[in-house]
Amino acid sequence: MSEKKEALFSKKNRKLMTDPLDGSNPISVQVLGICSALAITVQVEQAFVMSLAVMAVLLFGNMIVSAMRNLIPSRIRIIVQLVIVAALVILVNELLKAFMPDVSEKLSVFVGLIITNCIIMGRLEAFALGNKVWPSLLDAVGNSIGYGWILVVVAFFRELFGSGKIFGLQIIPESFYEAGYMNNNMMILPPMALITVALIIWAQRSRNTDLIEEN
């Protein structure tokens, strides 16, 4: 066991963080976690809060599973992961309710969505279970940012065209409305989230042709 100690931010470790932002993005390439991408991208603020919440849970989940990876019996590993994620989410929710009630109100429905987020289970199963704690932590950071930026971009377009606002602030001036401009109600409804994600995937693949599958 005389492995040479790897630098904290070696090239390999940096790749763990940067890959999920683009080339192996959990939403646009792996198409995971789109249920939440669909549900909470009506407003930028909510997409942002959701991204932070997922990041917190993924960070701790990845670290805990990675630290216990040699103890977890493989036959019940999925159950164990689920229990860890659920316990973390409930714990965070209880703490928020007690100490930051306003934030807890904002999160309300997201809490349940975090437990079922496929990205979290996916990373626990695919990465944390087979890697050390530090790389797992980096992997969690990378994936949650990769998830977050797509969410925020989708929410940006949906809020801008759906409500004329960004972060709840009116962006499209009143004079446009007087001239006959109307908010596109379609943008508020869930299907437009899928279409927006699809447009992002299109843009990404036309830029990075390696991602296109061969039939």
Partner 1 sequence: MAIDKNSNGYTFSFAIAMVVVVGTLLAVASQGLKKRQDKNASDKKMMSILGAINVEASRDNAQEMFDTYVIDSLSKVISGKDIGAKSFDVDIKKEFRDKTLAASNRNYPLYICEKDSNRYYVIPVIGSGLWGPIWGFVALESDYRTIYGATFDHEKETPGLGAEIKQAFYSDQYTRELVADTSGVFQPIVVVKDGSGSGLNSKVDGITGGTITSKGVEEMTTRTLEVYVNYFNSLNN
Q: Which residue ranges make up the site for partner 1 (CB under 8 A)?
A: 39-40, 42-43, 46, 71-76, 79-80, 83-84, 87, 90-91, 94-95, 97-99, 101-102, 105, 108-110, 112, 185, 188-189
Pick between residue 57 and residue 138 the one whose CB is nearest to partner 1. 57
Instruction: Count other C-beta atoms under 10 Å from residue 136's C-beta.
Output: 27
Pick between residue 79 and residue 198 the one whose CB is nearest to partner 1. 79
For residue 83, the minimal CB distance to partner 1 (Å) is: 6
| 8-13 contact pairs (CB < 8 A, 24+) | 8/134, 13/134, 13/135, 13/138
Cα separations in angstroms, 201 against 30, 41, 44, 50: 11, 16, 20, 21
Nearest in space to 59 (alpha carbons), one of 170, 147, 182 = 147
For residue 35, the minimal CB distance to partner 1 (Å) is: 13
Pick between residue 6 and residue 94 the one whose CB is nearest to partner 1. 94
For residue 212, the minimal CB distance to partner 1 (Å) is: 33
For residue 185, the minimal CB distance to partner 1 (Å) is: 5
- Cα radius of gyration (the chain): 19
Pick between residue 13 and residue 93 the one whose CB is nearest to partner 1. 93
**DSSP element (H, E) containing 166:** strand 165-166
3-state DSSP of 38-84? HHCCCCHHHHHHHHHHHHHHHHHHHHHHHHCCCCCCHHHHHHHHHHH
For residue 59, the minimal CB distance to partner 1 (Å) is: 18
Report how far residue 200's alpha carbon sits from residue 149's, in angstroms, rounded to the nearest whole number: 11
For residue 46, the minimal CB distance to partner 1 (Å) is: 5
